[in-house]
Amino acid sequence: MSSIKELDTSYVLPTYARADVEFVSGDNARLEDANGKKYIDFTSGIAVCSVGHANKRLSDALCEQLHKITHISNLYYMAPQARAAEKIVKASGYDMKCFFGNSGAEANEGAIKIARKYGEKDGEVKRYKIITLEHSFHGRTITTVKATGQEAMHNYFGPFPDGFVYAQNIEQIPSLIDDHTCAVMIELVQGEGGVQPLDKKAVQDLALYLKSKNVLLIIDEVQTGVYRTGEFLASNLFEIEPDVITLAKGLGGGVPIGVVMTSKKDVFSAGDHGSTFGGNYLSATAACEVVDILEEMYNAGTLKENINYFDAQLQKLYEAHQGIFTSKVGIGMMCGLRVKDAATLASIITKAREEGVMVLKAGRDTLRLLPALTITKEEIDEGFTSLNRALSSL
Look at residue 125 in the predicted model and tell me its pLDDT.
73
Look at residue 123 in the predicted model and tell me its pLDDT.
63
Question: Could you give the dihedral angle defined by the CA atoms of residues 284, 289, 292 and 296, in that order, rounded to the nearest 10 degrees?
Answer: -160
Look at residue 25 in the predicted model and tell me its pLDDT.
98
Domains of the chain: 69-299 (3.40.640.10)
Q: Which amino acid belongs to residue 27?
A: D
**pLDDT beneath 50: ranges in the chain:** none
Q: How far apart are CA 334 and CA 228, in angstroms?
A: 6
Q: Please state whether beta strands 334-339 and 366-369 pair in parallel, antiparallel, or not at all (unpaired).
A: antiparallel
Look at residue 363 in the predicted model and tell me its pLDDT.
87
**319-351, pLDDT tens digit by residue?**
999 999 999 999 999 999 999 999 999 999 999
pTM exceeds cut of 0.85: yes
Q: Please state whether beta strands 334-339 and 357-358 pair in parallel, antiparallel, or not at all (unpaired).
A: unpaired
Look at residue 1 in the predicted model and tell me its pLDDT.
66
**Closest-CA residue to 327 (of 316, 317, 339, 335):** 339
Look at residue 331 in the predicted model and tell me its pLDDT.
97
Look at residue 191 in the predicted model and tell me its pLDDT.
86
